[in-house]
Amino acid sequence: MDRQKIKTFLTLGLVLLSCLVLFWGEQYLGKFSTRVLNLAAIFVILGASMNLVLGFTGMFSLGHAGFMCVGAYVSAILTMSPESKEMIYFMEPIISPLDKIHWPVFPAILTAGLVAAFFGFLIGFPALRLRDDYLAIATLGFGEIIRIIVTNTISITNGSLGLKNIPPIKSLWVYWGFAIATIWILKQLINSSWGYAFKAIRDNEIAAEAMGIDIFKHKLMSFTIGAFFAGLAGALMGHLITSVDPTMFRFLFTFQILLIIVLGGLGSLTGSVIAGVLVTVMMEVLRFVEQPMNLFGLQIPGIPGMRMVIFALLLLVVILFYRQGLMGTREFNWDWVLDKVGVGRRKEKGVGVDG
């Protein structure tokens, strides 16, 4: 059997296996585990999309939390029932026509992504003329501005009180469906001619421009796509924890995503997926260090903040000693697996036409 066929079968097998796992998880997993897995899916989306911007296009943007914030609010406002809006907006009533809108979740989540992408486009327009640390601080600034605006436009966002009673989504299928779709879309994009253009800009901006690539247009494109998925993830986050408020989207979020992509490898989607799940699970598992413990009759008080200390140290250790992270810029591919097992013969290696 030739390689291509084997690979197709393997891919189909993997899809089937994921479906079975999701089906099993949906049936038998407890509430807590499901929640953690759903959170992991959200962080996978966040990691992959920030990796597109930072790892593949080489733009040091720190505005991801801001775009999440936009997405979370858009989806929440669109899907909350008019009654709960009337109840929650008691400082100032919500403006018309938002008070009557009551959308189903799916179009709302997609709209959240689109609105975040629009913000990304608007912000990218001025900010992407900057590079490196200037871009970092400008995008960080924009992220903060978004948060400050959300805190102050009370008749739209309910200000610092935040929103509650957002229609919940509990199913693994939804979160992982979005995560898998995101990964697939980003993989296709990165292996396409556009993906190579992004990588060329990252590798050598001046040479890329001399090859005819419109740097600004491509940077803006990558940034806007990144913002779209951040918005999507923000929306999902809202439906997972059913409440949002502006303090949620502090820099802390961006830091966690940064940890994921550094740990997984700047420029590896596979790395972002692995590290996304890993970091989320660690975040939950490590909760014990912040809770009081009883060890052999010895009472140890919990230490709030300890998890973040561990994460900060982890980030530093990775960046100082294992700069490649788990995957470097490598990606999972069947050829590698098949070469290892020694099945089938490789026809020719080369640039994929369809990825």
Shortest gap between Cβ of 225 and another protein (angstroms)? 9
How many other C-beta atoms lie within 10 A of the C-beta of residue 91? 11
Residues with Cβ within 8 Å of residue 209, at least 6 apart in sequence:
215
Q: Which of 15, 207, 300, 337 binds another protein (CB under 8 A)?
A: 207
CA 177 vs CA 15, 168, 190: distances in Å: 11, 16, 20
Gyration radius (Cα) of the chain, Å? 21
Q: Which of 7, 36, 60, 161 binds another protein (CB under 8 A)?
A: 60
Q: Which residues, numbered 251-270, are part of the site for another protein (CB under 8 A)? A: 251, 255, 258, 262, 266-267
What interhelical angle do 31-51 and 64-79 show, nearest 10?
130
Q: Which of 9, 23, 24, 134 binds another protein (CB under 8 A)?
A: 134
Phi and psi angles of residue 257, each rounded to the nearest 5 degrees, phi first = -65, -40
Structure tokens at 292: 């009081």
How many other C-beta atoms lie within 10 A of the C-beta of residue 146? 23
Nearer to another protein, 320 or 341 (CB): 320
Structure tokens at 214: 């419109």
CA 79 vs CA 146, 178, 230: distances in Å: 21, 18, 19
Stretch of residues binding another protein (CB under 8 A), selected from 25-33, 110-118, 168-176, 206-214:
206-214
Nearer to another protein, 130 or 338 (CB): 130
Residues with Cβ within 8 Å of residue 13, at least 6 apart in sequence:
none
CA 76 vs CA 72, 84, 315: distances in Å: 6, 11, 32
The residue assigned the tokens 């189909």 is 12
Cα separation, 48 vs 32, whole angstroms: 24
Binding flag, residue 332, another protein (CB under 8 A): no
From the number of C-beta atoms within 10 Å of its C-beta (0-12, 13-18, 19+), residue 254 rates as buried
Shortest gap between Cβ of 128 and another protein (angstroms)? 11
Cα separation, 152 vs 149, whole angstroms: 5
Nearer to another protein, 213 or 227 (CB): 213
Binding flags for another protein, 65-104, as an x/- string (CB under 8 A): ----------------------------------------
Shortest gap between Cβ of 143 and another protein (angstroms)? 9
Binding flag, residue 200, another protein (CB under 8 A): yes
Q: Which of 2, 214, 335, 339 binds another protein (CB under 8 A)?
A: 214
Binding flags for another protein, 177-196, as an x/- string (CB under 8 A): --------x--xx--xxx-x
Q: Which of 215, 241, 278, 281 binds another protein (CB under 8 A)?
A: 215
Q: Which of 1, 298, 341, 353 binds another protein (CB under 8 A)?
A: 353
Binding flag, residue 129, another protein (CB under 8 A): yes
Q: Which residues, numbered 267-326, are part of the site for another protein (CB under 8 A)? A: 267, 303-306, 308-309, 311-313, 315-316, 319-320, 323
Q: Which residues, numbered 147-166, are part of the site for another protein (CB under 8 A)? A: 148-149, 151-152
CA 153 vs CA 291, 307, 325: distances in Å: 37, 33, 41
Q: Which of 211, 285, 300, 337 binds another protein (CB under 8 A)?
A: 211
List beta partners, residue 300: 293
Q: Which of 45, 68, 179, 208 binds another protein (CB under 8 A)?
A: 208
Nearer to another protein, 159 or 344 (CB): 159
Q: Which of 2, 26, 83, 203 binds another protein (CB under 8 A)?
A: 203
Binding flag, residue 232, another protein (CB under 8 A): no
